[in-house]
């Protein structure tokens, strides 16, 4: 197995991109990534495309082949990866395997979702497919409901408060203000979160990540060849993935995501680092409670302790651990298939020192954490500058 | 890269499986494959699940995680692969890479589609997502229409006749009669095909593969460990994939599938065999014209010559080259995500000598050919007995 590096990244602005379809979004992020790696379409040997529900959002399946076509990657193998909201992270892991194995030298991993062409109700139903359709969604629960169950239990067991939940959204909006690609470049306050409409108690509107359009792309090559493409290649030092039951009701505990814990343990072992070594991390904050779980399940805080730490500012930009500097899913937006790839783009910028106003000082080791469903899939990657 | 072998196969009966949902189909094929490999759920390290449009057919996405959950593969990585009707073959290729690379030792590749819970019109629209939604489907053309364009041009350029097209369906039904897993175990005649209702001229109803439910699964391990699991491991000697434009209109020629030609050339090179060495092949006959193209593009016949050869019986069971002994997509059925994996199951049975009434005498080298869209994705695998 070879070491793998990221030598090109591309991203679209996330948001309600009325004037851009699936194709335009893919092209925008893809071309930016190729230019960043100083390569052309002809150099690319394989494409992985992560996207969750393009069939239901736009009528289009077979999206990786379309992405290859759209980007002029003539006749190369292209594979769509779908693992609900972890589609992007899962695609990145498959790209990593393809390069690490020696099968391909230049692999593009793209992530995309075009969600705003359907009604909110249709989007909610489509996203519901990430859970168990027959045993959860058909019975009437949606994703805010599933995460509200988790939040209520976490509050009951550990004294987590609505203010702590709200502080996640406030911090992530603070970061999003500094990110030109973010959907919500607007500060919010804890009071605004607490006073926003209840979606599923205790989660309010501002505890929830939005419906978004967007795309992201990265270019992967073997580390040994990386400096031909880029002066600051970023090495992927760990790639790990795990699953748990699709149904929340079948878990031993609903205040932790076992898939996250297992994937994180594998990733720390592969990278030979510990939580304390991580300087910057993008975690999957689809709902504010999800960031609290992530902080605990990734080993940054003991179970039940993350909420207060976030409220106290310990995970703000350039504090103890900089979390979701992109704005996270809450502030930057959550075009589901793009999210896992966007997380990698943000970490690459941070480790290169290119994150501008939101640069983490001394960022040497980064992590991404992408979740599908209510925790049925978790993908964790760890990155370092290739010095 | 390690050599990879198939040591377990499982298949459900294809057809209108009213009493089985997505979960039951996956479990049925998956358990059969595990039992065939003499392993339990605990032995499996990774799962790839091929399925095309479960969101639109059943509301369920995140199907690989569900499949892992349903089969008791606790906490292993699971990845859904979607490449339209080539989802199964693409999943097989990813499984092959995961084992060949040394990342995993025991990988299950499943394919599934549950298509009969929606109306024919809804199914047709969902399948249309395999083409370019904006530039093809939205303009009113469906897949029978796209393949009818190909058929008309092939007839115009090469003198291919409607009888030749019909002979594909007749042969495949002949084979399906001998396959207990096939949807249509019923002989048909050329006259019956010619007199069936026109779907899109010159394609009639009996030129078209059906809407089906079904699932298939295979267990992959490194060849060096294969005999621990099975006395007759089948080695995957080539795995290749290619893409072409999503839009039929953008191709240089519509009487050949360039993706098939490229994937086949790579596969022959990797396996170090020629078309004349292949004894048994499962090709992608979504429409009868597609089998004629496949015979030509895979190198078994010169362009324009396959139709007459098939009409003359050269590809019947135990003739010159046995093609689609399972009954193909036409006779065995076409649950789209399952098809590519089912093709591998059939070839494994043939190479093991376990194909019963439809056994090809002296089957030593087999091939599968799986196509997505109107030829935008093609996946070719070659197999040998591991003697």
Q: What would the DSSP string read from start to end of A304-315?
A: T-HHHHHHTTTT
**Same domain membership, residue A256 and residue A201:** yes
Chain A hits for B102, CB-CB cut-off 8 Å, are 1, 101
Query: Please, which residues 258-287 of chain B have a Cβ atom closer than 8 Å to chain A?
Result: 258-259, 262
Q: Is B97 part of the contact surface with chain A (CB cutoff 8 Å)?
A: yes
Kindly give, in sequence order, each residue whose CB lies less than 8 Å from that of residue A227, ignoring residues fewer than 6 positions away. A233
CA distance A211 to A120: 8
Query: A352-369 burial, b if ≥16 CB within 10 A, otherwise e?
Result: beebeebbbeebebbbbb
| CATH assignment of the domain containing B30 | 3.40.47.10
Q: What number is the average pLDDT over the span A346-369?
A: 98
- Do residues A238 and A362 make contact, with C-beta atoms less than 8 angstroms apart? no
Chain A hits for B128, CB-CB cut-off 8 Å, are 59
CA distance B323 to B331: 12
Q: Is B132 part of the contact surface with chain A (CB cutoff 8 Å)?
A: yes
Residue A126 resides in a domain? no
Tally A–B CB contacts below 8 A. Answer: 193
CA atoms within 13 A on the CB side of A333: 31
Q: How far is A254 from chain B (nearest CA, A)?
A: 16
- Do residues A237 and A382 make contact, with C-beta atoms less than 8 angstroms apart? yes
Q: How far is B185 from chain A (nearest CA, A)?
A: 31
Q: What number is the average pLDDT over the span A251-256?
A: 97
Q: What number is the average pLDDT over the span B350-373?
A: 98
Q: What number is the average pLDDT over the span A149-158?
A: 98
Query: Please, which residues 133-152 of chain A have a Cβ atom closer than 8 Å to chain B?
Result: 133-134, 137-138
Summarised one tens digit per residue, pLDDT across range B95-126 is 999 999 999 999 999 999 999 999 999 999 99
The structure tokens 């890269």 sit at B1
CA distance A284 to A346: 13
Whether A200 shows a pLDDT value over 90: the answer reads: yes
**Same domain membership, residue B29 and residue B17:** yes
Residue A108 resides in a domain? yes
Chain B hits for A79, CB-CB cut-off 8 Å, are 81, 83, 90, 93-94, 241
Q: Write the ipTM.
A: 0.97
> Containing H/E element for A379?
strand A377-385
Which segments of chain A does DSSP mark as H helices, in order? 22-36, 54-58, 63-70, 87-100, 120-128, 143-158, 162-177, 190-195, 258-271, 288-297, 306-311, 328-332, 336-352
CA distance A308 to A323: 15
**Tokens, residue A47:** 């494409």
Angle at which helix B288-297 crosses helix B143-158, to 10 degrees, equals 60
Q: Is A7 part of the contact surface with chain B (CB cutoff 8 Å)?
A: no
> CA angle at residue B374 from B368 to B376, to 5 degrees?
75
* Domain count of the fold of chain B: 2
**Same domain membership, residue A82 and residue A194:** no
Instruction: Report the percentage of chain B scoring pLDDT > 70.
Output: 100
**pLDDT for residue A185:** 97
Mean pLDDT value across chain B: 97
Whether A114 shows a pLDDT value over 80: the answer reads: yes
Question: Could you say which of B104, B173, B284, B334 is catalytic?
Answer: B334
State the Cα torsion A250-A252-A257-A263 to the nearest 10°: -100
CA distance A129 to A94: 22
Q: What number is the average pLDDT over the span B189-202?
A: 98
CA distance B129 to B133: 6
Residue B369 among the catalytic residues: no
Q: What number is the average pLDDT over the span A177-191?
A: 98
Chain B hits for A53, CB-CB cut-off 8 Å, are 55, 61
Could you tell me which chain A residue has the CA closest to the CA of B54? A129
Kindly give, in sequence order, each residue whose CB lies less than 8 Å from that of residue A291, ignoring residues fewer than 6 positions away. A168, A172, A283, A284, A285, A306, A310, A323, A324, A328
Question: Could you say which of A284, A334, A369, A381 is catalytic?
Answer: A334
Residue A334 among the catalytic residues: yes
- Do residues B80 and B186 make contact, with C-beta atoms less than 8 angstroms apart? no
Nearest Cα to Cα of residue B123 among B52, B201, B182, B216: B52
CA atoms within 13 A on the CB side of B166: 18
Chain A hits for B101, CB-CB cut-off 8 Å, are 1, 97, 100-103
**pLDDT for residue A387:** 74
**pLDDT for residue A364:** 97
The structure tokens 């994939």 sit at B241
Q: What number is the average pLDDT over the span A125-143?
A: 95
Q: Which of B65, B97, B139 to mutate to test the interface with A (most CBs of A within 10 A)?
A: B65
Q: How far is B272 from chain A (nearest CA, A)?
A: 18
**Same domain membership, residue A197 and residue A106:** no
Q: Per the CB < 8 Å rule, is A77 touching B241?
A: yes
- Do residues A23 and A70 make contact, with C-beta atoms less than 8 angstroms apart? yes
**Same domain membership, residue A275 and residue A167:** yes
Q: Which of B27, B46, B50, B55 to mutate to test the interface with A (most CBs of A within 10 A)?
A: B55
**Tokens, residue A285:** 């904050």
SS3 (DSSP) at B268: helix
**Same domain membership, residue B376 and residue B355:** yes
Could you tell me which chain A residue has the CA closest to the CA of B84? A62
Which segments of chain B does DSSP mark as H helices, in order? 22-36, 54-58, 63-70, 87-100, 120-128, 143-158, 162-177, 190-195, 258-271, 288-297, 306-311, 328-332, 336-352
SS3 (DSSP) at A215: strand
Angle at which helix B120-128 crosses helix B143-158, to 10 degrees, equals 70
**pLDDT for residue A386:** 85
Nearest Cα to Cα of residue B117 among B182, B213, B3: B213
Q: Per the CB < 8 Å rule, is B55 touching A58?
A: no
The band of B241, judged by pLDDT with boundaries at 50, 70 and 90, is very high
Summarised one tens digit per residue, pLDDT across range A297-331 is 999 999 999 999 999 999 999 999 999 999 999 99
Instruction: Report the percentage of chain A scoring pLDDT > 70.
Output: 100
Q: How far is A77 from chain B (nearest CA, A)?
A: 5
**pLDDT for residue A43:** 98
Chain B hits for A134, CB-CB cut-off 8 Å, are 21, 23, 60
**Same domain membership, residue B131 and residue B51:** no
Nearest Cα to Cα of residue A80 among A122, A113, A121: A113
**Same domain membership, residue A192 and residue A227:** no
Question: Could you say which of B85, B208, B286, B332 is catalytic?
Answer: B85
Q: How far is B194 from chain A (nearest CA, A)?
A: 32
Nearest Cα to Cα of residue A11 among A327, A224, A226: A327
Q: What would the DSSP string read from start to end of A30-76?
A: HHHHHHHTT--GGG--EEEEE-S-HHHHHS---HHHHHHHHTT-TT-
Residues β-bridged to residue B11: B216
Of A55, A62, A103, the CB nearest to B56: A55
Q: Per the CB < 8 Å rule, is A62 touching B83?
A: yes
Q: Which of B58, B62, B261 to mutate to test the interface with A (most CBs of A within 10 A)?
A: B62
Q: The domain containing residue A142 runs over which residues?
A: 131-210+237-385
Of B65, B83, B125, the CB nearest to A80: B83
The secondary structure of residue B12, as a DSSP letter, is P
CA distance A378 to A88: 11
**Same domain membership, residue A143 and residue A105:** no
Query: Please, which residues 31-70 of chain B have a Cβ atom closer than 8 Å to chain A?
Result: 52-56, 58-66, 68-69
Whether B260 shows a pLDDT value over 80: the answer reads: yes
**pLDDT for residue B387:** 74
Query: Please, which residues 221-240 of chain B have a Cβ atom closer than 8 Å to chain A?
Result: none
Nearest Cα to Cα of residue A47 among B255, B203, B83, B193: B83
**Same domain membership, residue A201 and residue A173:** yes
Could you tell me which chain B residue has the CA closest to the CA of A98? B97
**Same domain membership, residue B114 and residue B41:** yes
Q: Is A122 part of the contact surface with chain B (CB cutoff 8 Å)?
A: no
Summarised one tens digit per residue, pLDDT across range A278-299 is 999 999 999 999 999 999 999 9
**Same domain membership, residue A258 and residue A158:** yes
Q: Is A123 part of the contact surface with chain B (CB cutoff 8 Å)?
A: no
| Between B148 and A74, residue with greater pLDDT | B148
Residue A124 resides in a domain? no
Distances in Å between the Cα of B97 and the Cα atoms of A235, A335, B41, B156, B220 are 21, 29, 21, 41, 10
Give the helix, strand, coil percentages of chain A, each rounded to 5.
45, 20, 35
Nearest Cα to Cα of residue A370 among A331, A332, A328, A315: A328
Q: Per the CB < 8 Å rule, is B59 touching A90?
A: no
């Amino acid at each position: 197995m070879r070491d793998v590096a990221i030598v090109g990244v591309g991203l679209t602005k996330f948001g309600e991109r009325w004037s851009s379809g699936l194709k335009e979004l893919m092209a925008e992020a893809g071309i930016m990534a190729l230019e960043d790696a100083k390569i052309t379409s002809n150099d690319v040997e394989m494409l992985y495309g992560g996207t969750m529900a393009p069939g239901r959002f736009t009528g289009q399946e077979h999206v990786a082949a379309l992405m290859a076509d759209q980007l002029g990657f003539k006749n190369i193998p292209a594979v769509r990866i779908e693992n609900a909201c972890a589609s992007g992270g899962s695609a990145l892991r498959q790209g990593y395997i393809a390069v690490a194995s020696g099968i391909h030298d230049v692999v593009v991993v793209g992530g995309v979702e075009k969600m705003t062409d359907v009604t909110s109700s249709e989007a909610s139903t489509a996203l519901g497919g990430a859970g168990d359709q027959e045993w959860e969604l058909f019975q009437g629960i949606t994703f805010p409901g599933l995460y509200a169950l988790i939040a209520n239990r976490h509050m009951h067991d550990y004294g987590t408060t609505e203010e702590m939940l709200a502080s996640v959204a406030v911090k992530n909006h603070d970061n999003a203000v500094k990110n030109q690609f973010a959907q919500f470049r607007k500060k919010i306050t804890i009071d605004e979160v607490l006073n926003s409409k209840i979606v599923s108690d205790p989660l309010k509107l501002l505890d929830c990540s939005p419906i978004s359009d967007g795309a992201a792309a990265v270019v992967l090559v073997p580390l040994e060849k990386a400096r031909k493409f880029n002066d600051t290649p970023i090495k992927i030092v760990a790639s790990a993935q795990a699953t748990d039951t699709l149904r929340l009701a079948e878990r031993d505990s609903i205040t932790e995501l076992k898939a996250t814990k297992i994937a994180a343990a594998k990733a720390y072992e592969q990278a030979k680092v510990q939580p304390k070594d991580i300087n910057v991390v993008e975690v999957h904050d689809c709902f504010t409670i999800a960031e609290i779980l992530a902080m605990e399940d990734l080993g940054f805080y003991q179970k039940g302790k993350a909420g207060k730490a976030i409220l106290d500012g310990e995970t703000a930009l350039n504090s103890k651990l900089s979390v979701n500097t992109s704005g996270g899913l809450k502030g930057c937006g959550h075009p589901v298939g793009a999210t896992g790839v966007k997380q990698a783009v943000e970490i690459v910028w941070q480790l290169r020192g290119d994150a501008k106003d939101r640069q983490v000082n001394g960022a040497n080791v980064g992590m991404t954490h992408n979740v599908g469903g209510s925790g049925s899939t978790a993908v964790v990657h760890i990155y370092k500058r290739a010095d």
